[in-house]
C-alpha cells in the first residue's frame, strides 16, 4: 500500500510538473498576443489607409515592443515597420527625421520578414520604405518588389497595392519589373475596373494605365467605360 501510494504521489507530481511546464512555455506567447491585441484598432485603421495621430502611432509601437520582449513575432515587427513608415510620410518633416524613421521601418520590417518570409504585404512595405529612403538606388526596392511576386503573384489586394507602387516608382523600374507591374494593372482591370478608374483619375495615371492595357481591347474598354462613369469633379 505504501509503495502504491508513493507511486501515485510521484505520478501526480509528474503530471503537475508537466502541466506547469506547459503553462510556463505558453505564458510568453499568451502575454505577447494579448499585448498586441491592445492596439488592434490602430492597425485596422492603418490598413484602411486612415491617418493615425503621431502620439497614437508611437503608443502602438511601444505596445508592440513590449509584446516583442515576451516573444519574437513577425507580425509585431511588421506592424512597427508600418507605423514608422506612416510617420515618415507626414508632411513638414526635415530630411534627417524622415530618414531616421524610414531606417527604423526598414530594420523592423526586415526583421519580421526574417522570421516569416511568406508575407507579401511586408515585402511591399519594405519596397516602399527602401524607395522612399533612397530613390536613386532602386536595387533594394526592386528585390523586395520581386519577392512579393513569389509570395502572392495574384492576390487582389496585393496586386492593387503593387500597381500603385509601380506607378509611383515607374521611372526607376527595370523593363522586367515594368512588365510585371503592367500585368498587375491588367489583373486589376479584369477584376475591378471601377476601383482602378477611381484610383487612376486623382493620380493622373490614365495614360499609364492605358499603356499597360494596350493590346487588350476588352480590358481597356471596360476600364474606359468605368473611367467615364466617374462623377464629375
Judge whether 108 and 80 are in contact, CB under 8 Å.
yes
Q: What is the pLDDT of residue 23?
A: 44
Inter-residue contact 160 to 129 (CB < 8 Å): no
How many other C-beta atoms can be found within 10 angstroms of the C-beta atom of residue 90? 13
CA dist 71 and 66 (Å) reads: 9
Residue (of 125, 90, 121, 119) closest to 107 by Cα position = 125
Are residues 4 and 109 located together in one domain of the fold? yes
CB 52 within 8 A of CB 42: yes
Same structural domain, 111 and 32: yes
| CA–CA dist 128, 145 (Å, integer) | 9
Residues 111 and 5 placed together within one structural domain of the fold: yes
Determine the pLDDT at residue 20: 43
Cell of 50: 486612415
**pLDDT for residue 185:** 97
Which pLDDT value is given to residue 165? 92
pLDDT at 138: 76
Q: Which domain holds residue 30?
A: 1-119
pLDDT the model gives residue 101: 96
H-only helix segments in the chain: 2-37, 40-47, 54-70, 74-88, 95-115, 120-133, 138-151, 156-168, 175-191, 193-203, 206-213, 217-228
Low-confidence ranges of the chain (pLDDT < 70): 1-38
What is this structure's pTM? 0.80
Is the same domain home to 115 and 161?
Answer: no
What pLDDT, on a 0 to 100 scale, did the predictor assign at position 22?
Answer: 43
The single-letter DSSP state of residue 73 is -
Pair (183, 232) in one structural domain: yes
Q: Measure CA 213 to chain center.
A: 27
- Domain check: are 113 and 167 in the same one? no
* 64 plus 168 within the same structural domain: no
Q: State residue 65's pLDDT score.
A: 87
Asked if residues 39 and 63 have their Cβ atoms less than 8 Å apart, the reply is yes
Angle between helices 193-203 and 217-228 in degrees, nearest 10? 70
Predicted pLDDT at 26: 46
Q: What's the structural domain count of the chain?
A: 2
Task: Give a yes or no: residue 157 inside a domain.
Answer: yes
Amino acid at each position: 500500500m505504501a509503495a502504491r501510494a508513493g507511486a501515485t504521489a510521484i505520478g501526480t507530481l509528474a503530471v503537475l510538473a508537466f502541466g506547469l511546464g506547459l503553462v510556463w512555455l505558453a505564458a510568453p506567447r499568451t502575454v505577447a498576443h494579448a499585448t498586441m491585441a491592445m492596439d488592434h484598432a490602430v492597425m485596422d485603421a492603418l490598413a484602411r489607409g486612415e491617418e493615425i495621430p503621431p502620439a497614437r502611432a508611437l503608443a502602438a509601437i511601444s505596445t508592440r515592443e513590449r509584446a516583442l520582449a515576451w516573444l519574437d513575432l513577425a507580425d509585431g515587427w511588421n506592424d512597427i515597420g508600418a507605423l514608422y513608415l506612416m510617420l515618415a510620410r507626414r508632411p513638414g518633416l526635415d530630411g534627417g527625421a524622415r530618414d531616421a524613421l524610414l531606417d527604423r521601418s526598414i530594420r523592423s520590417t526586415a526583421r519580421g520578414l526574417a522570421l516569416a518570409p511568406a508575407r507579401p504585404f511586408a515585402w511591399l512595405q519594405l519596397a516602399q520604405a527602401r524607395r522612399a529612403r533612397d530613390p536613386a538606388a532602386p536595387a533594394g526596392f526592386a528585390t523586395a518588389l520581386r519577392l512579393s511576386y513569389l509570395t502572392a503573384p495574384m492576390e487582389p489586394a496585393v496586386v492593387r497595392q503593387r500597381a500603385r507602387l509601380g506607378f509611383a516608382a515607374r521611372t526607376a523600374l527595370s523593363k522586367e519589373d515594368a512588365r510585371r507591374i503592367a500585368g498587375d494593372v491588367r489583373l486589376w482591370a479584369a477584376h475591378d475596373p471601377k476601383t482602378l478608374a477611381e484610383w487612376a483619375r486623382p493620380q493622373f495615371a490614365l495614360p499609364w494605365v492605358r499603356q499597360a492595357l494596350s493590346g487588350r481591347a476588352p480590358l481597356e474598354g471596360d476600364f474606359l467605360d468605368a473611367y467615364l462613369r466617374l462623377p464629375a469633379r
